[in-house]
Structure 1
């Protein structure tokens, strides 16, 4: 029996519509949550191997904001980009064109979680920068996973993906989608001691962790996620920036988040206590509260 979502009643109360838009020669599926007359509009990018569902707990707590959540190309309901690689440069170019399509007035706040934090920052660091009011990064990847406290586990994960790349297509794809691999990753990231919440988190990963389009897309995105970080782009982001860190996040530890904050020209750091890299699942109300406070301090668009 599937574990029920603790956030289902809140999510059900948020008006939502889905749409799609052509971007970089492909099509991107996106979901719009909240009223059209909201004071704040956020375009929110999800993390690696996720889709829009993963951000719904935060969205449900962002009362008064309209949130646009696309499925990154090659994940969820968005097919891969036809000619653009699914690396940081490719996803940044996609983000810039997506913003021009869904927020042409330049009045949106760009946000990203985990791998989405790298993509969002890279998009704003490119010249000329797209017009946005601000940047919000949740569990940002402050330093390369290859040099972080989980570098041994990251090395094992890289080896696993290299094996999947070397095998015949069908077998390699099956390895990347293997339920055991999904469960190991889910257990490694979850920090909550709430059994029901852990059960639901594992169920969410079972449902959505393997909805990538094909092996090539997943491998391109995976290597982009472990070989890049937000720090490499931070200095070139010239908009107000909020970093929402978690004090038990050993993928993006708090000391690296403090150092990352100093790399941005205009950044502030908020810390969510008692949770790790899955703050969007384990503490969405706290994350939303920090985002709401930050937005309240921005000039009206």
Structure 2
């Protein structure tokens, strides 16, 4: 897709391609970008999020295809959070990708959890009377309650005015991507893959990651949105091994 909302900065390759989690926007990477000391980075709003248009139907592979044009063939490290981490793994075989880093990926899903996600995908976007209410909804869906100030100007991309009020720009149909199939994605990866989690992340455990990769990384004291809570904690993960 060439109509994605994209933020970028820094110099030449290798480029960090930063992929946010479900319900969020590229703005969650602002803190990390400030620690990159001029390194090149690019962060899109994924389809159906922020300022990027929706897809006709959502799958991890379809979202990956939509952002694949942002891979720098001269060298790219793809860093994805949660939903974005699975998208990153779908990009692992693209020419130019040197490594993939997945942070906070929920790797195990029950049938009940998948059914709940499918039900959410079938619901229309909720309309709110005020911008503040829409912002609160965005922060809840993205898991950013208490981490981002509701008055932060970066949230402008997360909500939009409608004829009836305000809503989040997130397309709820993206909830319907289904089970990620982590074992198969990791088996197919031909570049180094690092899987990490915040120590306090309730969505994935150390044991679950250890069953998939030999050396998972635990980020002490951090939760699901580790890249927002302490962006600098990700820096040791970003150099290809």
TM range, normalised to the smaller chain? Answer: 0.7 to 0.9
Q: Which ranges of structure 1 fall in alignment gaps of 5 or more residues?
A: 1-22, 166-171, 191-197, 263-267
The structure-2 alpha-carbon separation of the partners of 1:189 and 1:230, relative to structure 1 and needing over 3 Å to count, comes to farther
For 1:199 and 1:124, how far apart are their aligned partners in 2?
30
The 8 Å contact of residues 9 and 41 in structure 2, kept in 1 or not, is answered as: yes
Deviation for aligned residue 1:88: 1.2
Q: Report the counterpart of residue 220 of structure 1 in structure 2.
A: 173
1:99-118 equivalences under 5 Å are 99=71, 103-105=72-74, 107-118=75-86
Per-residue CA distance 1:34-78 (angstroms, 9 max, x = gap): 2x24x6321111111111110111222223521111111222222
Q: Report the counterpart of residue 100 of structure 2 in structure 1.
A: 135
Q: Report the counterpart of residue 92 of structure 2 in structure 1.
A: 124
Deviation for aligned residue 1:238: 1.1
1:233 to 159, 164, 185: 185
Matched residue of 1:130: which SS?
Answer: coil
The structure-2 alpha-carbon separation of the partners of 1:142 and 1:189, relative to structure 1 and needing over 3 Å to count, comes to farther
The 8 Å contact of residues 76 and 99 in structure 2, kept in 1 or not, is answered as: yes
Deviation for aligned residue 1:199: 5.9
Query: C-alpha root-mean-square deviation of aligned residues, in Å?
Result: 3.4
For 1:58 and 1:203, how far apart are their aligned partners in 2?
20
Q: Report the counterpart of residue 56 of structure 1 in structure 2.
A: 30
For 2:38 and 2:216, how far apart are their aligned partners in 1?
23
Structure with the bigger percentage of helix: 1
Larger Cα-atom Rg: 1
1:172-251 equivalences under 5 Å are 172-174=125-127, 178=134, 181-182=137-138, 184-185=140-141, 198=146, 200=148, 209-210=158-159, 218-224=171-177, 227-228=179-180, 230-251=182-203
The 8 Å contact of residues 92 and 122 in structure 1, kept in 2 or not, is answered as: yes
Say yes or no: does 1:278 pair with 2:225.
yes
Q: Report the counterpart of residue 90 of structure 1 in structure 2.
A: 62
Counting matched residue pairs gives 231
Q: TM-score, normalised by structure 1?
A: 0.64
Q: TM-score, normalised by structure 2?
A: 0.78
